[in-house]
Structure 1
């Protein structure tokens, strides 16, 4: 069985689609874009094809048929193997049940921000706030679009999760900006005795 390092997030996304039915890589890419899977994994055509080939070498997917349409090149249609189904199930259920040690950049940046002027920190947080608001708007639009498509909600729970997390981050960031603006947080200038 492949190691966890060999099964990237993109590989899991491929296995998820093949768990539904056999597909060729171009179809996988289109479905991932429609479902906004590209918000969760880095999706590039070249890396998708490379990932499918690697999964085939690992015995997790196999070519189920080859299609040809007119003068176009042949398209390989891939199906998930029994080992692929087993690995997919084990990895996803483990990911659902286990709180992973992740190292997001924002908490690190917050822990390091004391090295800068309070006004600088507040201005950068305002930029982040604006970007978060834009992302929430985009996620809401994606949510609405998927609802209109009548795609079962189980396929886009991730969008609701991401929107909820972005809203929580926005609320926390807004509170911090307010505390900096009202000087409720003591923020001495860098290099002063009080800042150490």
Structure 2
């Protein structure tokens, strides 16, 4: 059973910065780029806090107001929350499930699309990955140049999450380059047989 990622990350930040406002939990996870690599939506963070409070994993530390700002509730993790958090971290660390790559479905559709469109799409994919890898490398360097103190900037372990994302992109980039080269050289040809005759897509290049 997969660990609920949003709940685990929200618990982690609450534990790290407690007592902490929901806004600060949201800001911290956004700085970790969790929306990109864990699909943690900003709006789901507040929902997770309410659910975890209901389940007894976190408790309200206090409600305060700073000047004209709206009232903010601060939270602290409970002993039950510590227990559940430990279980989730352990299960996540030992997870070795294969990624379900959404592009595999597109690859299986290569014969159903015109060859020139597949080639153009692969070239676009390669350019996109090259740019994203450069961006991730800069982000990793920026995080590691900071203090690593979570009260000041992103903790250094976030750089490892960024590096993992970059390594996955490099694998995709390597596959895309090799596949494009195989198509252009004629080694990979799924368009000269029956599939080409049954293709239902019109080429936008024509």
| Shorter-chain TM-score above 0.5 | yes
2:178 aligned with 1:182, yes or no?
no
Please list every run of 5 or more consecutive structure 1 residues that lacks an aligned counterpart in the other structure: none
- Which 10-residue stretch deviates more, 119-128 or 145-154? 145-154
- Offset, 1:177: 0.6
2:121 aligned with 1:118, yes or no?
no
- Offset, 1:21: 2.8
Distance change in 2, residues 1:174/1:117 (3 Å): same
2:47 aligned with 1:50, yes or no?
yes
Please list every run of 5 or more consecutive structure 2 residues that lacks an aligned counterpart in the other structure: 149-154, 199-206
2:132 aligned with 1:127, yes or no?
no
Which residue is equivalent to 2:12?
Answer: 16
Report if aligned partners of 2:140, 2:162 keep a CA contact under 8 Å in 1.
Answer: yes
- Which 10-residue stretch deviates more, 83-92 or 175-184? 83-92
Which residue is equivalent to 1:33?
Answer: 30
2:135 to 138, 156, 170: 138
- Cα deviation digits, residues 93-120 of structure 1 (max 9, x gap): 2122122254221122112222222222
- SS of the residue corresponding to residue 109 of structure 2 reads helix
- SS of the residue corresponding to residue 64 of structure 1 reads strand
Report if aligned partners of 2:14, 2:77 keep a CA contact under 8 Å in 1.
Answer: yes
2:144 aligned with 1:147, yes or no?
yes
C-alpha RMSD of matched pairs (Å): 2.1
- SS of the residue corresponding to residue 76 of structure 1 reads strand
- Which 10-residue stretch deviates more, 146-155 or 90-99? 146-155
Distance in 2 (alpha carbons) for counterparts of 1:101 and 1:155? 22
- SS of the residue corresponding to residue 192 of structure 1 reads helix
- Offset, 1:176: 0.5
TM-score relative to the length of structure 1: 0.86
Matches within 5 A, 1:47-86: 47-86=44-83
